[in-house]
A and B are shown apart, each in its own frame.
Chain A
Amino acid sequence: MAGNGSGAPPVRPIRSRRARTRYPARYSAASLLWRGKRPWPRIWDSGDLASSYDAVVIGGGVHGLATAYYLASNWGITNVAVVDKGYLGGGGSGRNTAIVRSNYLTPDGVAFYDRSVQLYERLAVDLNLNVMFARRGHLTLAHSDGALRTMRWRAEVNKHQGVDSEVIGPAEIKRLVPALDVSEAPRHPILGALHHPPGGIIRHDAVVWGYARAAAALGVEMHQKTEVLDIEVAGGGGPGGNGPGGRVTGVRTNRGDISAPVVVNCTAGWASLIAAMAGVRLPISTHPLQAAVTEPVKMFLPAVVVSGSLHVYVSQTDRGELVFGAAVDPLATYDTGGSLAFAEELAGHVLQLMPGLGRMRLLRQWSGLCDMTPDYSPIIGPTPVDGFYCDVGWGTYGFKAAPVAGEQLAACIAGGDVPELIEPFTLSRFAEGRLVGEKGAAAVGH
């Protein structure tokens, strides 16, 4: 880990050379010419469900796939099945706003996300697939003295850990993003911003497909439309032997039963339901988060712009669409319906930031489910049920953490010990009363 003298944990290097040599298609220009109109082979083809695996990962999103990939590539555990009740990348991995950054508030959070940005930066090489990581820079706007104070706090914590962040004034903001209104005219004028050059955006579907393809090449099986109906636990204190003190023996799915000594819960918004099957209660409530995208226009927004006070973050994709995200809806629900109230509020806030967008049209809006924890930090690592691991509680910020979460959880599962990087984020922190308060930097709108 570069340049931190602050006691940040050492990180195990990835041994991916062996994996890289085993990839099937290379998608080079030469292979495109050579292949012509002949059909491409499927990048993963898993066949039937086996009756036993060394590990079953529930949830075929970027977290589940990353965990499976690092189990196979770093630890040689390849007899792994990733099961998903829908399709790969159909949950939060396909609904997020694809922003990558590491400018968090707590030292634990900064070290963790910094490792994730490092992994993202070389992910295209590791997975041999272009994930289109664009290091655009990331601006978190401050509209009040209080917000500016938090930006300075975050900048100092970041710099101390070797992460590039600094507070800049309106003139510098205008130079970086000319479309922003930095005058005194808006109701909430822009007073300053936290500028984080390593932040950027990435092609989220490519990350999902890259991990799935690389994991499949190593022998991991991907089973879509495979819904977990129950988790089998023996020896616990709860009904049927589940609950704390028990040990996982397998899962029951709609396509048959699987016996497995390790079951990993990577199901984001549905995490509480899956954990309940094993008799584990989580401090999570599920909230929808709405996002929207405009029609494509020429590139004019060079950086990712975030405003906590206005509950909005904006970036421009390589196709030219503006992607907007907001805060989670305050109401805990599994309903992913969109609302006009959201679109109206979003438009009003975006126009405060960039009045020039008044005639742009929204193309579509959608929502995804966020698994919110009380301290805005994830829950990752072992649970009171032996062999049952969680990688959940990611709330509104899970996508940017997927590589490091997968890498460290794989180390936790294969190595047996909880790695230092995720030690602050274990489920036991709630019972022990050591919460990791990331509310100030993990999300917008509170």
Chain B
Amino acid sequence: MLLVPCPHCGPRNSADLTLVGETGPRPDPATTTPGEWRAYLYEEENPAGWTRETWYCRLGCGRFFVTERHRAENRFRNPPLGAGDESSDRP
């Protein structure tokens, strides 16, 4: 079991949340090319180390938040409340 530090609910079982995916800059749909948009949709860095990712607290507060996790050791760091990221308060 992995405890995910939800900034609103506190630590929760990862089964209560959904890992949305890696967090990165989103291209502007109005100006991007189909190739760039698909790269944004599909490509992943998938590192065996620290990565910034978006979580959805499905069975808890129902909010999105961004945190950093080590994907090989499953440790979290700097669970940022909001973290200044636009996706943190996405409905």
Secondary structure at the A interface, as helix, strand, loop or mixed, is loop
Is A270 in contact with chain B by the CB < 8 A criterion? yes
Q: How distant is B50 from chain A, measured CB to nearest CB, in Å?
A: 12
Check if A330 sits within 8 Å of B48, measured CB to CB.
no
Among B19, B21, B46, B74, find the residue whose CB has the most chain A CB atoms closer than 10 A: B46
Of B18, B39, B44, which is within 8 A of A285 by CB? B44
Check if B44 sits within 8 Å of A273, measured CB to CB.
no
Is B88 in contact with chain A by the CB < 8 A criterion? no
Chain A contacts for B1, CB-based, 8 A: 339, 341
Chain B contacts for A281, CB-based, 8 A: 39, 43-45
Chain B contacts for A333, CB-based, 8 A: 71-72, 74
Chain A contacts for B23, CB-based, 8 A: none
Check if B44 sits within 8 Å of A331, measured CB to CB.
no
Check if B45 sits within 8 Å of A272, measured CB to CB.
yes
Check if B47 sits within 8 Å of A272, measured CB to CB.
yes
Measured between alpha carbons, how far is A285 from B47 in the docked complex, in Å?
A: 9
Check if A283 sits within 8 Å of B74, measured CB to CB.
no
Check if A430 sits within 8 Å of B42, measured CB to CB.
yes
Number of A-B contacts (CB under 8 A): 60
**Known contacts A330-B19, A332-B19, A433-B34; A273 and B48 CB within 8 A of each other:** yes
Is A282 in contact with chain B by the CB < 8 A criterion? yes
Chain B contacts for A330, CB-based, 8 A: 18-19
Of B35, B47, B73, B74, which is within 8 A of A273 by CB? B47
C-beta contact mask, B1-34 vs A, less than 8 Å → 1, else 0? 1100000000000110011010000000000001
State how many residues of chain A have any CB contact under 8 Å with chain B. 22
Chain B contacts for A331, CB-based, 8 A: 2, 14, 19
Check if A334 sits within 8 Å of B71, measured CB to CB.
yes
Measured between alpha carbons, how far is A335 from B71 in the docked complex, in Å?
A: 7
C-beta contact mask, B32-73 vs A, less than 8 Å → 1, else 0? 001100110111111110000000000000000000000111
Chain B contacts for A270, CB-based, 8 A: 48
Closest residue on chain B to residue A374 by CB atoms: B42
Closest residue on chain B to residue A281 by CB atoms: B43
Interface residues of B (CB under 8 A from A): 1-2, 14-15, 18-19, 21, 34-35, 38-39, 41-48, 71-74
- What would 27 A/B residue contacts be, using CB atoms closer than 8 Å? A270-B48, A272-B44, A272-B45, A273-B46, A276-B47, A281-B45, A282-B44, A284-B44, A286-B46, A330-B18, A331-B19, A332-B19, A332-B71, A333-B72, A333-B74, A334-B71, A335-B71, A335-B72, A335-B74, A374-B41, A374-B42, A430-B39, A430-B42, A430-B43, A431-B35, A431-B39, A433-B38
Interface residues of A (CB under 8 A from B): 270, 272-273, 276, 281-286, 330-335, 339, 341, 374, 430-431, 433
